[in-house]
């Protein structure tokens, strides 16, 4: 119960890896705000957490909108008194358009970056003062191994998120707030199945050191470590949980 009496927000927690994060934090004692643009999915996850004996609250949020991010934070503070942990997981991924940088519609491109890159900043700005008031906290941003690949605007957003992680860690360290990121490799979720065509799966798996797709649960251990006091001197880092897909020297 590493997170007993702690209050956590997980964005994009209505499905996939975000859902696994929210349930794992609740299982270790945290009160968890299940934040998602899809309110039905957020409600489902929150109810499942409560049915398992945890404490959860469903909150609708559009992370691309600073006002919506602030409203999310205020809802959580009103319900539970503050914020200790933030997981910036929300992203446009499942069903995303696969388009060249040279031809993608500018409106779609701007919306994509507003969610996948700027969303983490909006949510951090909405939450950090409450964390500081409670003596500090921890933030984990959801990056991707795509940050180190040629993957179009998805790669651009995740590379920028890595840089955002380092810069926020620098700015917030003095307030006792740590900021790190997790970079998942190919993970078997409904979203991945809409993005990666079936014939590509086997060669993708064969390229990994560990010959299987990841699961949402494969990333949970990294999240819990980075948010916990076990990582009290770890900040500004990007941890790849990817089965050996990316090697960085």
Domain architecture of the chain: domains with CATH: 7-187+217-239 (3.40.50.720)
Confidence of residue 126 (pLDDT cuts 50, 70, 90): very high
Long-range CB contacts (< 8 A, 24+ apart) of 16-19? 16/94, 16/187, 16/189, 16/190, 16/191, 16/216, 17/89, 17/142, 17/184, 17/187, 17/189, 17/216, 17/219, 18/87, 18/89, 18/90, 18/142, 19/45, 19/216
What is the dihedral angle through the alpha carbons of 222, 71, 131, 21, rounded to the nearest 10 degrees?
-10
Q: What is the pLDDT of residues 13-62, one digit of tens each?
A: 999 999 999 999 999 999 999 999 999 999 999 999 999 999 999 999 99
- Does the pLDDT at position 234 exceed 90? yes
- Which residues are designated catalytic? 154
Q: What is the pLDDT of residues 139-196, one digit of tens each?
A: 999 999 999 999 999 999 999 999 999 999 999 999 999 999 999 999 998 888 787 8
Confidence of residue 200 (pLDDT cuts 50, 70, 90): confident
- The values of phi and psi at residue 75, to 5°, are -60, -45
Confidence of residue 197 (pLDDT cuts 50, 70, 90): confident
Q: Are 161 and 116 in contact (CB under 8 A)?
A: yes
């Amino acid at each position: 119960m590493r997170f007993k009496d702690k209050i956590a927000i997980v964005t994009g927690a209505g499905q996939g890896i975000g859902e696994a994060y929210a349930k794992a934090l609740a299982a270790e004692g945290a009160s968890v705000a299940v934040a998602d643009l899809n309110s039905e999915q957020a409600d489902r996850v929150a109810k499942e957490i409560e049915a398992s004996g945890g404490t959860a609250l469903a909150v609708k949020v559009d992370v691309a909108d600073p006002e919506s991010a602030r409203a999310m934070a205020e809802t959580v503070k009103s319900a539970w008194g503050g914020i200790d942990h933030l997981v910036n997981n929300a992203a446009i991924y499942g069903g995303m358009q696969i388009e060249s940088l040279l031809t993608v519609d500018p409106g779609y491109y701007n919306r994509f970056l507003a969610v996948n890159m700027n969303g983490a900043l909006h949510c951090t700005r909405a939450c950090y003062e409450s964390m500081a008031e409670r003596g500090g906290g921890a933030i984990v941003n959801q990056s991707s191994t795509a940050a180190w690949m040629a993957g179009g605007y998805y790669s651009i957003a995740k590379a920028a998120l890595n840089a955002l992680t380092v810069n926020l860690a620098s700015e917030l360290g003095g307030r006792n707030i740590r900021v790190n990121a997790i970079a998942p490799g190919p993970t078997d979720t409904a979203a991945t199945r809409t993005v990666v065509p079936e014939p590509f799966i086997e060669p993708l798996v064969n390229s990994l050191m560990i010959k299987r797709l990841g699961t949402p649960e494969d990333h949970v251990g990294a999240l819990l470590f980075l948010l916990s006091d076990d990582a009290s001197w770890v900040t500004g880092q990007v941890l790849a949980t990817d089965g050996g897909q990316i090697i960085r020297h």
